[in-house]
Each structure stands twice: as structure tokens, then as C-alpha cells.
Amino acid sequence: MAQHQIGYLVGSLSSRSINRILSKALVRLAPDDLAFTEIPIKDLPLYNYDLDADFPPEARDFKAAITASDGILFVSPEYNRSIPGGLKNAIDWGSRPWGQNAFARKPTGIIGASVGGIGTAVMQASMRSVLSFLDAPQMNAPEAYITFRPEVFAEDGEVKDESTATFLRHFVEEYAAFVQRVLAANAPGHIGDPEG
């Protein structure tokens, strides 16, 4: 079975991010047909329209990594009931300049962990609006709002609770199937493809 290259973005800039731990868990539980690479966002400068004609190196590298990925997975906390600023900044870089949106037609998934009970639900709703505008197909189900408990998640991504591991395994297996469907639908010659 062919491997799909999945770029994942961790929405927190913290070295101790619980969402980074969640991303490690997803990588451990993923099926063999997905190969994951983190696309870092912490060194990106603030997006500025004045730089559209000549992206700084960090932004060029970021955009190239998005372009090279078959799919994008967002693993993010919720800040003030919305998308963390660093992650939104990265998305803005990837979508610019106008007409060169690297997220277009990329199969995307969203998941997030929080110590609170709503587990990033409001951030994910905001993210879905942004991804819709960017023409990035989204896996809508299963939804995954994770309440993070340190006794369940080890630093290396091991999940110590079997019901949580089963749910996360199901999430990433469904994402793998979604990536396959979107890529097949976007393949040249497929009905609905602009070149088909």
C-alpha cells in the first residue's frame, strides 16, 4: 500500500505542549500507510502583505512543506475560544500570496487537547470556517475533543488508557481513509477534476 505523506502542525509554541504529546500519540497509533512529519511554525515571522513578493526563508520553507504534503493534520489547543495566534499566522503564510494557496484541495483533519471539559471544540469550529474559505477539504467525523489527563498520556505519546487509545486509533484510521478518498477524487482524469 502506498504511503501518504502527512504534514502536521502543532498549534502551541510551547516545548511542553500537551498537543505535542497528543501528536506523538497519533503518530504511534496511525496505520502504516501514513508517514507523519511535523511542519514547525514557531520561527515564522508575523505575516505581512508587504512580503508577498519575496517571502522570508522561513515562510518559503513552511509553504514548501505544506505543498509537499499529501494531507495536513492540525493538532492544536484553544486560546481564548479561538485559534492560537501562531497557528493562524502560519495558515496566513501558507495561503499567500493571493492565488497561491498551498492548502487548496489538501485533505485536512483537526484534533485538539485541553485540560478543560470542552477539549478545543470552539477552536475547531473557528478552524473549520478558515479551512472552508481556503478550499481545504475537512474530515468532519469523527470529531475529536480530547480532555488531557497526564495519567493517560506519557511524554513519548504512549496512551495508557485503552479506551482513549482505541478512540484515537479510530480517529487516525478514519483520517487515513479520508485522505485516500480526497486524493482519489482530485486525481487527474477523475470526474470533477478541472483537467479530467
- Could you read off the pLDDT tens digit of each residue along the chain, which spans 196 residues? 579 999 999 999 999 999 999 999 999 999 999 999 999 999 999 999 999 999 999 999 999 999 999 999 999 999 999 999 999 999 999 999 999 999 999 999 999 999 988 889 999 999 999 999 999 999 999 999 999 999 999 999 999 999 999 999 999 999 999 999 999 998 877 555 555 4
Alpha-carbon span 21 to 68, nearest angstrom: 24
> 10 Å Cβ neighbour count for 29?
19
Give percent helix, percent strand, percent coil of the chain, each to the nearest 5: 40, 15, 45
Q: Which three cell numbers stand for residue 42?
A: 514557531
